[in-house]
A and B are shown apart, each in its own frame.
Chain A
Amino acid sequence: MIVGRVVGEVVCTRKFRTYDAAKLLQVQPLDLQKKDRGLPMTAIDLVDSGPGDEVLICLEGQSAVDAIGLGDNPVDAVILAVIDELKVADA
């Protein structure tokens, strides 16, 4: 899993049925110092996170599928939590 920041939303009227139940948010992956790391992706939002929120994202498909608990669906990224605080011991 990785940390990311919500930077937008993907709006699709025509989409796979599971996606009706949740928002599709654009998330920018971050490193532990909260700097951008890599390219944004789209994740299903299970925890009603909003723009600018720092979130925990599950990237591995099967666990993402299980996380949304709607049976087997074409999902490969899910927002599992909104992060209140991230403490990192300085190396």
Chain B
Amino acid sequence: MNVGRVLGNLVATIKDPNLTGQRILAVEPLDGREPAFFALDSVGAGAGETVLYTTGREASYAFLPDFVPCNAAIVGIVDEIREEKK
């Protein structure tokens, strides 16, 4: 998983029926490991919020038992990232 910020959302009426009802959000990784991409939201994240996301096939497991085609899903809203260096 990685941490990113929600930049906005995407609305599409013509789409894969399995995407019906899903919120499609634009996410930018905090560490800039890659440019902004789109992830489905499973926790009710809003624009500007810092979020935790999962990528790959396993992202779609956030929506089981429904099969929702995606390769990125927001799975948490980050309150704090604690730096702990011993």
Which residues of A are interface residues toward B (Cβ below 8 A)? 6-16, 19, 24, 26, 39-44, 50-52, 61-62, 64-65, 72-77
- Of the candidates B3, B73, B85, the one whose C-beta lies within 8 Å of that of A74 is B73
Interface of chain B, main secondary structure: mixed
Verify if B66 is at the interface (C-beta below 8 Å from A).
no
Q: Contact check, B52 vs A15: say whether CB atoms are below 8 A apart.
A: yes
Q: Contact check, B79 vs A11: say whether CB atoms are below 8 A apart.
A: yes
**What are the residues of chain B within 8 A of A62 when measuring CB–CB?**
57-58
Q: Contact check, B84 vs A8: say whether CB atoms are below 8 A apart.
A: yes
Q: Assuming the A-B contacts A15-B75, A16-B76, A76-B1, are A52 and B85 also in contact, with contact meaning beta carbons closer than 8 angstroms in the complex?
A: yes
In the assembled complex, the CB of B2 is this many whole angstroms from the nearest CB of chain A, namely 6
Q: Assuming the A-B contacts A15-B75, A42-B1, are A75 and B58 also in contact, with contact meaning beta carbons closer than 8 angstroms in the complex?
A: yes
Q: How many residues of B contact A (CB 8 A)?
A: 32
In the assembled complex, the CB of A23 is this many whole angstroms from the nearest CB of chain B, namely 11
**What are the residues of chain A within 8 A of B52 when measuring CB–CB?**
10, 12, 15, 24, 42
Q: Assuming the A-B contacts A15-B76, A74-B54, A74-B62, are A10 and B3 also in contact, with contact meaning beta carbons closer than 8 angstroms in the complex?
A: yes
Q: Assuming the A-B contacts A62-B58, A74-B59, are A11 and B78 also in contact, with contact meaning beta carbons closer than 8 angstroms in the complex?
A: yes
